[in-house]
Structure 1
Amino acid sequence: MKRLVFLLLFIFSINVVFAFGQKNQALPDKLWQEVDDSALQQRLPERLVIPNAYRTFTVDKTALQGLLRKAPMEFTEAAGGNSPIITLPMPDGRLARFLLEESPIFEPALAAKFPEIKTYRGQGIDDPTATARFDFTPNGFHSMIISSSGTIYVDPYAVGDTRNYISYLKTDVERTGEFSCNVRNDADEFPSYLNFLPDSPTVVSGTNLRTYRLAVAATAEYTNVFRQAEDTDAQARARALSQIVLIMNRVNGVYEREVAIRMILVANEDSIIYTDPATDPYTNGNGSTMLGQNQSNLNTVIGVDGYDIGHVFSTGGGGIAQLRGPCGSGKARGVTGLPNPVGDPFAIDYVAHEMGHQFGGNHTFNVSNGSCGGQRSSLAAYEPGSGVTIMGYAGICGSQNLAGNSIDTFHVKSIEEIVAFTTGSVGNSCAVSIATGNTPPTVTAETGFVIPKLTPFSLKATATDSDGDLLTYDWQEYDLGAGATTVPNSDGDGMERPIFRPYLPSDNPTRTFPSLQYILNNANVPPNTTGGRLTGETLPTITRTMIFQVIVRDNRVDGGGVRTAPAVVNIDASSGPFVVTSPNTSVLWTGNSSQTVTWDVANTTNANINAANVKISLSTDGGNTFPIVLSASTPNDGTETITVPNVNTSQARIKVEAVDNIFFDISGANFTISISTAPNRALFDFDGDGKADVSVFRPSNGGWYIDQSTNGFTGIAFGQAGDRIVPADYDGDGKTDVAVYRSGTWYLNRSMAGFTGVNFGTADDIPQPADFDGDGRAELAVFRPSNGTWYVLNLLSNKFSFVQFGQSGDRPVVADYDGDGLADYAVYRDGSWYILRSSQGFIGIQFGEAADKPVPADYDGDGKADVAVFRSSNGTWYLNRSAAGFAEIQFGISTDVPAPADYDGDGKADLAVFRDGAWYLQRSQTGFTGVAFGASGDQAVPNAYVR
């Protein structure tokens, strides 16, 4: 046979593998270009916001304006699927895509007066949890993006600059200076409010978007912050209005997602923006005085019936607002004043906060330090320390600060209060409701557990959304208790109080208490402070009943669907802490060895907790994930002997968790597992002795029959007629696992990690599992003939990737052709091999004929798979061995099924055929043998991937 090896021109497109979790595309882009801002710093020194970290971009202003003009109006037939796509630059240099719609926050008459001021909204495409608000005004373009990954802003680089922009994270801008917030009238002053507070802490919102007419007055001092030297009074008003629009568009972005509320600026908004401090009707530096002034002024200028909620922006006076004002006689009693009234701190920490009071939200922090003094609400103090949600006091409570700024979510208590007020008899009396067409998600939470003190635990929610929206989860403690004055805010003094802080929502339905970093690095005892801030997480130490709530959001930009669910956790102080005691240091284990895991039961088998059994799992990534189950259920007696998986890691951790409960512990230090050098890994080796086993699958009864070379015969019922067998080592223990592929679903019976079923692929895909990342575990992989694309799912990390390599009619021939320990993508096409080697790149090889059966394997033991074919017409094997060269061997007849594998464990694949229940093996070390095993109609397992 002639052999011709040649490099081929790349005749089909190959796309680089990318992780499924990567949500954005890389620059460049026609709209945005990244630039070095060193020159801009000299030329444009007047800047309103200078984040700690940011990236600078220029925008094609003409293209941007053209794109914005194409935006359809929200809630119209033209919106939705036909909306144009806008890209926004991210702080990491990538782009995120959003569906763009115009979303006015002006009454029509105001919009007609100021056509140059427009507002928009966006729904994330790459990240469906992301919602965005945009505005385009004479002050430039602004955007705010809220997602499960955090909040991002795009703002003009400097004052008056509408070409250059910065993209930055919310967390990279901190508020400066002190701020005081005074709230007027606690709930007891309005007893009617209590009549429509929900009896249970479950909240549902989002079927209707409630709109309120908003009048925002601006003191002359506020207006003059943005006034430029050459401006007329009318121009100064327009600039201040643009800034008010920027602030309120961002506030609306939060309120729409959190509580389905939108505020629309009234028609004569420009008549309450003042330019002369000597004649405006406000005492700029006195918030309390401005409350009454604003109520009187708006009633006079706008008219009592011309607005639903009023507020005044100033440069002094701090923040003050009346609880539950909208629709009532005190509806204009809200003030926000800062010397530098710009950016996210002003919009979210202050304006959204003060308007939160107006809509019924009380303070949620539980301390009295710094500016928190005298402002704690006995009705809503559900957050430790300063609090960190919008109705908290993040950044202004001295040693009790959880963060420098608020996160842009409400505490569940605030959502409860605001939704109750705005859907009740008072706050709903003036709102206009717009049906969103959105059905809020449904959710249930794990509840009713009894756990030991000082022991980590996890809470999990289960949620669905009939609209198919991607959901996020926000677990929060819901305990109202004694106030705190010392760091940390624990219950160690015997007093019940909130001890776990809120975080941003996540797409993970499970929250671990305390955060995993404190379990792994601090032996379950979070430090009192982290980064100079109160940590805000302490494990319970006393017998108490703790209540948690999970907020599930569907993150719809047109009025977010929200639903909450409670969970009760009882703490038993007579038990705990439950602790893993061994391994608990940096020991060395060897794969396949027997080791003992021990833990302190700590009275957790008592009648209160009754944790009779525990599950033991192994992590190989430092405790971040625990994919390897060492024992699914064993008595909770404090000791268990386990078999160590034959894996290689220096970041091993052991987790012992209660079965049918939520508490657990993780060993306190990374330790090492080294791979045992005893057995050689071989394909189709079911007992892990380094030798492939003679084995068959019988479709008639779904039975696997295996003649293990060390452990003898075994039979396993797993599968059914029509299944494709997909044996491979899915859990990395050196043993081939029984597995089948059925119409896009994988069913795996892993020898170490147990059964699992995974939907991955379609009925027409060709399954081709292999170890593409070199971690010793086979990934799920399919080749899709319809488009020549490979799809791969890592079971350990849950990361998805794909590569376009091949075309319709190709036969997949995955193997490690370059010997680097990673499987290579490869296809066989009419006698040609096309191989994308992971280390050495693409190669094309002409070897074989169209009717041949490709049988790649390492026939010469050099660690590299060899190109090889079996020709049924003459029963001949043709091998193109990478070290030993070409060989032509007649072994078999036309009806034989080729089944090459390393049957004698010498590292070299052996020629083998299966014929009507008989095996014929030409072993490279021990020579020829014949084995009667199987029956006519059986499938030879080592033939699983020969096509």
Structure 2
Amino acid sequence: MKFKLLLTLICFVPMSLFAQWNKASLKKQEVKSSKVQIESAGLYSLNIDQIRGALVNAPDRFTSHSGVLVQMPNAEGKLESFEVWEASNFAPGLQEKYPNIRAYVGKGMDNPTAILRFSISPKGLSSMVMSDKATVFIEPYTENNDVYIVYNSTKHRKHNEHFECNVFENDLDIDLGELDYSRAPMAGNFRTFRLALSCTGEYGQYHGGTVADVLAAFNDTMTRLNGVFEKDFSIHFDLIDEVESLIFTNPSTDPYTVAGPDQANSVISGIVPLSSFDLGHLVDREPANGAAYLNGICGSMRAGGWTAHNIPEGAAFDIDYVAHEMGHQLGAGHTYTFYGAQIGRPVEVGSGNTIMAYTGITGNLDVQANSYDYYHSASIEQIKNRLNQVPSCGISTPMPLDPPVVNAGNDYTIPHSTPFVLTGDVTGPESEGYTHNWEQVDMASAAQYGNNSRAYPTKPTGPNFKSLKPVADPVRYFPEFPSVLGGVLSTTWESVSSISRAHNFSLTTRNNHATQPQSVRDDAKVTVTAAAGPFVVTAPEEAYSASSGDALLVTWNVAGTDASPINTTHVNIKLSTDGGSSFEVIAANTPNDGSESVTIPANSQSDNAYILVEAVDNVYYAVSPSFVIDYAVGGEVCYTYTYSGPAIPINDGPGGSEITSPEILVPLDVDNTGAITRFKVSLDVSHTNVSHLNIGLESPYGTRALVWNRTCSGRSGINASFEDGAGNISCANSPVAGEFNPNETLAVFKGHNATGQWNLFASDNRPGATGTINSYSIEICNRELENLGVKDLSQHNAIALYPNPSNGEFYIDAKNLKGGEVITMIYNAAGQMVHKSSFNHAGGKLNQKYNVNLPAGVYVVLVKAGQETLNQKLIVK
């Protein structure tokens, strides 16, 4: 029935609706100062009268009526369709008084995981689309609101690095230490709270100086915040009818002399009785700061929250600052571990990257530049617990839609230094709109603060994996799969463990429903044992050349995984021919004995293939190095791509003594189609103090590596190259010159297809110095490949071993082998090398006898002779 209603809706939409948005360019319009740091994904003009006309028919979302169709541009330059309802942030009397200031919610019709929140007023339209992809924002870009900017959450940078949030404990009738934070159900209710939002005169002046102007700004912020609060907590805030009395537009006469949570609580509760609101908050225009009373909602300090910023508008202000301070008032502590968290839940590496973290303002412990637009599962449970303490506060409305049923799976024990993958089982109504994210919930001790808040293999407790944005599939690889493909199992913010320890994880599922939003969590534990591991694929090796339809010997280091406490008896073997994007099973449920001869399917030609061996009835796995199928591998060929100007400025940003860290991106198009085997970057940077800089590379797939991380104080430029294995950075010269190791390994790009737009990213997070990116180059190396035809295949890998089985005496035979060194290695079933020998071959026919004194068993013989290889199982009787 719902499908039929939507179909009818679309059929009767006027065609003019699709012309609401048009691509735009800047001519003489003046860009808003608050938007100059944003990298645009697109500029558009909007026929706002036309969209207002469409929204006249938008029903209230809590009615049973279907919504209206609205389209919004996305970061890819396409229009996305949404079914839209009104979702007011105002109490009914306030909404009636200000009919031109409204808010809406939309459900994605193209992407069922997408939720649209947007506000509209005489000052224009602002929106946010949350989905399984990067969050997309739309905001007025020019002073006259004629042009709008579309950008995603990775392109907007904080305007101020110096930010300190103070959290104050709040006396409660219930001891929070006695609560169970593992689960806190909200009993299927949607709760609406009354918000008393106040502002200083400075904030009022910034937004236009009238009550209506400020209410429009309040509406913009609360549209986004309610979008987050609803999907994570099933709660919504309405501005109270008396909010006009809390708005001040004259800095000289407002009642706030020393802005902060205590004065906010005093002023707000002095104007509006406590009985008339459930939460109060003060927004201010001054250098970034904030403070709040923990668990203040519905208590005596319910108005004890304050957020300040010199640019008090936009995505960063709404999500990184206001949502953070209100999060404290709702019951959440800090989640970061870069510093001893105040009354916190220290479950995130470094600065963290969720709302209750300190994203983008901690220097070299920043996980990323801006917060994701969601709360960590630990924060969600803290807040749900607090809200359950005050069940009579707010208005509860039952949600008839059943919540998701989430099963994080069994607990497992895995070998050390080995990657793993967690898969949830999630069911429920309208599940096509669900998003899921796995997060580590181990709390750090004081020993894991500061520099030890990074991820590393010997970290004994606390988090070792960063939070990743929710996605449509309840699956997560630890570490991220592109790093594993590159052979990198330990990075700054993600690392496997080389010691015995437990990792506890939560799986949070959000249903992303427009009218009945709910989130559900389940947990699982992964215990690492140092008694087994690492589990490693030992063959095929890097650049091995295999053939379609032929046998391929796969070997792996069992490494004690077949014994207690892991007891893995069988494995699955999978093949990828598309660079690791997908895998098919080519040997199912084969014994975990360290070797298996598999047959490569016909027509499997690949210049970037992988073998994956995964444990049956467990979560750990291993991936081979990249090899090729139906190609002959020659040497290595390298290509250099250069950005040669114009120079791109790296500025401190506005605000004098303030520290602005807008991240600039310098694009470079690459047409190389091969899989990366080696990577090098060279920088030419002018800057008066390079210790202020972060500089790194971003691949077309979004994988990042930090090359330079705030080192060499006082040096005035960089003219250097960075490549893995080049040696530590030397600060002896100014500008810094030489060849050095990057701050983070460039191996994370290994195996990637290089084609597309690469970006050099750079930010300056200290005041008092400026500079430019003058130029940079990247050197990308690939395998030199020869496409093998049918005739070539018959001659390829022409080395043979016989007899097999044998009594330990066997021959290596080749009809026509190039001259050079021939190396022979033999491995036992445990992956240990038990024989290695070499000799020089003059060229031509080869028939070499071997007599190895080995006990009966199964072995793997690996022979290398120039570009020819043999990888074969040998049975010794």
TM-score under structure 1 length normalisation: 0.63
Contact 1:209 1:558 in 2 (8 A): no
Matched, 1:461 2:428: no
Give the counterpart of 2:203 among 216, 222, 242. 222
CA spacing shift, 1:255–1:625, aligned 2, 3 Å: same
Match of 2:351 in 1: 386
Separation (CA, whole Å) in 2 of partners of 1:62 and 1:493: 60
Structure 1 residues 290-321: Cα deviation after superposition (integer angstroms, max 9, x where no partner): 22221121122122222111000101261100
Equivalent position SS for 1:30:
helix
Q: What does 1:550-629 align with in structure 2 at a 5 Å threshold?
A: 550-627=507-584, 629=585
Matched, 1:72 2:59: yes
Structure 1 residues 176-216: Cα deviation after superposition (integer angstroms, max 9, x where no partner): 222434333348x54714277336x2344472211111011
Separation (CA, whole Å) in 1 of partners of 2:549 and 2:165: 65
Structure 1 residues 921-940: Cα deviation after superposition (integer angstroms, max 9, x where no partner): xxxxxxxxxxxxxxxxxxxx
Contact 2:184 2:388 in 1 (8 A): no
Separation (CA, whole Å) in 1 of partners of 2:528 and 2:458: 15
CA spacing shift, 1:378–1:554, aligned 2, 3 Å: same
Note the C-alpha offset of 1:159.
2.7
Match of 2:463 in 1: 498
Note the C-alpha offset of 1:379.
4.6
Structure 1 residues 711-752: Cα deviation after superposition (integer angstroms, max 9, x where no partner): xxxxxxxxxxxxxxxxxxxxxxxxxxxxxxxxxxxxxxxxxx
Q: What does 1:903-914 align with in structure 2 at a 5 Å threshold?
A: none
Equivalent position SS for 1:243:
helix
Note the C-alpha offset of 1:468.
4.8
Structure 1 letter corresponding to 2:491: P
Contact 2:457 2:496 in 1 (8 A): no
Separation (CA, whole Å) in 1 of partners of 2:86 and 2:116: 12
CA spacing shift, 1:638–1:594, aligned 2, 3 Å: same
Match of 1:45 in 2: 31
Structure 1 letter corresponding to 2:575: L
Separation (CA, whole Å) in 2 of partners of 1:329 and 1:389: 28
Note the C-alpha offset of 1:112.
2.5
Note the C-alpha offset of 1:487.
6.1
Structure 1 residues 821-868: Cα deviation after superposition (integer angstroms, max 9, x where no partner): xxxxxxxxxxxxxxxxxxxxxxxxxxxxxxxxxxxxxxxxxxxxxxxx
Match of 1:35 in 2: 23
Give the counterpart of 2:497 among 540, 558, 576. 540
Equivalent position SS for 2:301:
coil
Matched, 1:255 2:229: yes
Q: What does 1:476-487 align with in structure 2 at a 5 Å threshold?
A: 476-482=439-445, 483-486=448-451
Q: Which has the larger radius of gyration?
A: 1
Match of 1:835 in 2: none
Separation (CA, whole Å) in 1 of partners of 2:431 and 2:26: 46
Match of 2:475 in 1: 510
Structure 2 letter corresponding to 1:417: Q
Separation (CA, whole Å) in 1 of partners of 2:536 and 2:485: 13
Q: What does 1:118-157 align with in structure 2 at a 5 Å threshold?
A: 118-157=102-141
Q: What does 1:626-775 align with in structure 2 at a 5 Å threshold?
A: 626-627=583-584, 629-646=585-602, 647-673=604-630
Match of 2:266 in 1: 296
Q: What does 1:152-551 align with in structure 2 at a 5 Å threshold?
A: 152-161=136-145, 163-186=146-169, 190=172, 192-194=174-176, 197-198=179-180, 201-205=182-186, 207-227=188-208, 236-283=210-257, 286-287=258-259, 290-316=260-286, 318-368=289-339, 376-377=341-342, 379-424=344-389, 426=390, 428-468=391-431, 470-482=433-445, 483-486=448-451, 489-490=454-455, 492-493=457-458, 495-521=460-486, 523-528=487-492, 536-551=493-508
Contact 1:320 1:335 in 2 (8 A): yes
Separation (CA, whole Å) in 2 of partners of 1:119 and 1:241: 12
Separation (CA, whole Å) in 2 of partners of 1:397 and 1:593: 54
Note the C-alpha offset of 1:617.
1.0
Equivalent position SS for 1:623:
coil
Structure 1 residues 309-345: Cα deviation after superposition (integer angstroms, max 9, x where no partner): 1000101261100001111110000000001111111
Aligned residues: 614
Contact 1:325 1:331 in 2 (8 A): yes
Separation (CA, whole Å) in 2 of partners of 1:29 and 1:516: 42
Separation (CA, whole Å) in 2 of partners of 1:445 and 1:401: 29
Separation (CA, whole Å) in 1 of partners of 2:291 and 2:177: 25
Equivalent position SS for 1:450:
strand
Structure 2 letter corresponding to 1:592: G
Contact 1:142 1:154 in 2 (8 A): yes
Note the C-alpha offset of 1:467.
4.8
Structure 2 letter corresponding to 1:296: S
Structure 1 residues 546-594: Cα deviation after superposition (integer angstroms, max 9, x where no partner): 1111001111122422111111111101211111111121111112222
Equivalent position SS for 1:85:
strand
Note the C-alpha offset of 1:495.
2.6
Separation (CA, whole Å) in 1 of partners of 2:32 and 2:528: 56
CA spacing shift, 1:150–1:548, aligned 2, 3 Å: same
Separation (CA, whole Å) in 2 of partners of 1:353 and 1:30: 37
Note the C-alpha offset of 1:436.
2.9
Contact 2:416 2:497 in 1 (8 A): yes
Separation (CA, whole Å) in 2 of partners of 1:581 and 1:346: 50
Matched, 1:103 2:87: yes
Separation (CA, whole Å) in 2 of partners of 1:364 and 1:192: 22
CA spacing shift, 1:33–1:211, aligned 2, 3 Å: closer
Structure 2 letter corresponding to 1:90: N
Separation (CA, whole Å) in 2 of partners of 1:418 and 1:577: 39
Contact 1:215 1:269 in 2 (8 A): yes
Note the C-alpha offset of 1:35.
2.7
TM-score under structure 2 length normalisation: 0.68
Equivalent position SS for 2:345:
coil
Contact 1:206 1:559 in 2 (8 A): no
CA spacing shift, 1:537–1:28, aligned 2, 3 Å: farther
Contact 1:362 1:414 in 2 (8 A): yes
Structure 1 residues 679-722: Cα deviation after superposition (integer angstroms, max 9, x where no partner): xxxxxxxxxxxxxxxxxxxxxxxxxxxxxxxxxxxxxxxxxxxx
Contact 2:17 2:51 in 1 (8 A): no
Note the C-alpha offset of 1:31.
3.1
Note the C-alpha offset of 1:405.
0.4
Structure 1 letter corresponding to 2:612: K
Separation (CA, whole Å) in 1 of partners of 2:321 and 2:443: 24
**Structure 1 unaligned regions, length at least 5:** 1-26, 228-232, 369-373, 529-535, 676-947
Structure 2 letter corresponding to 1:272: L
Contact 1:489 1:538 in 2 (8 A): no
Note the C-alpha offset of 1:469.
5.2
Note the C-alpha offset of 1:265.
0.3
Amino-acid identity (%): 32
Contact 2:457 2:495 in 1 (8 A): no
Structure 1 residues 27-47: Cα deviation after superposition (integer angstroms, max 9, x where no partner): 9963334334131xx322334
